Amino acid sequence: MTPIEIIFLAGWIIEEAIRFPHRRRYRQELRKKSSAYSRMTGFGVILDMLAFLGMEIVPLFAIFSTWLDFAAYDLPVVLAWLGALFMAGSIAILWLAHHDLGRNWSPSVDLRQEHKLVTHGIYAHLRHPIYASVWLWCLAQALLVHNWIGGLAGLVLFLPVYLTRLPVEEGMMLEVFGEEYRDYRRRVGGIFPRLRKK
């Protein structure tokens, strides 16, 4: 393994450590009661699985096996360090988002009965910080895993999730929270902070 692949692997472990307790708690709570509002479809589940494959499995396969060596590429070292910065940003945003969401987090497109609209912490600046974190992760992956397949799989396979899931999530939030969410959406950017408040 190269030093930049070690950086990628370390970031992967840290992000999984951040996600693990939230995934476990969500599964435990889901056993007790079902979601009050759900917009997850079978197609959405397939897209999620493909994105997981592109961001978690394929890059590790490119690092630990020789099967994808034919697709290897080289980048200047400075771009690898940029990738490390993107990864650090992704990790920081992911941690803040989970911290601020608490029990309101869900891995799918659903809301529980007691779900609250979170507008504090990082959510005062971004409506979708976890998506912002994923995009930073995908850019970091492309710069740290020097392989046309392993490096770019995250960008390619997350894009359909983002394009199909975000409008559904926005619609569900409007349906459930109404004017409160409309006002929040006017004030706060999606994956980029608004430079000027409306």
**H/E run at residue 111:** strand 110-111
47 Cβ neighbours under 8 A, 6+ residues apart: 160, 161, 164, 165
> What pLDDT digit, counting tens, does each position of 128-174 carry?
999 999 999 999 999 999 999 999 999 999 999 999 999 999 999 99
How many Å apart are CA 18 and CA 53, to the nearest integer? 19
The residue that leads in pLDDT, 197 or 128, is 128
The SS3 of residue 16 is helix
Q: Does the pTM exceed 0.85? A: yes
Give the C-alpha separation, 171 to 60, whole Å: 35
- Give the pLDDT score at 33: 67
Domains and CATH numbers, the chain: 3-9+42-104+111-187 (1.20.120.1630)
Residue 38 has phi, psi (to 5 degrees) of -135, 135
Check if the beta carbon of residue 73 is closer than 8 Å to that of residue 148: yes
pLDDT classification of 68: cutoffs 50, 70, 90: very high
Indicate if the pLDDT at residue 15 is higher than 90: yes
Q: Residue 63 — pLDDT band, cuts 50, 70, 90?
A: very high
Q: Share the mean pLDDT of the chain.
A: 91
Tens digit of pLDDT for each residue in 86-114? Answer: 999 999 999 999 999 988 888 777 777 67
pLDDT at 107: 78
Mean pLDDT of the 179-197 span: 91
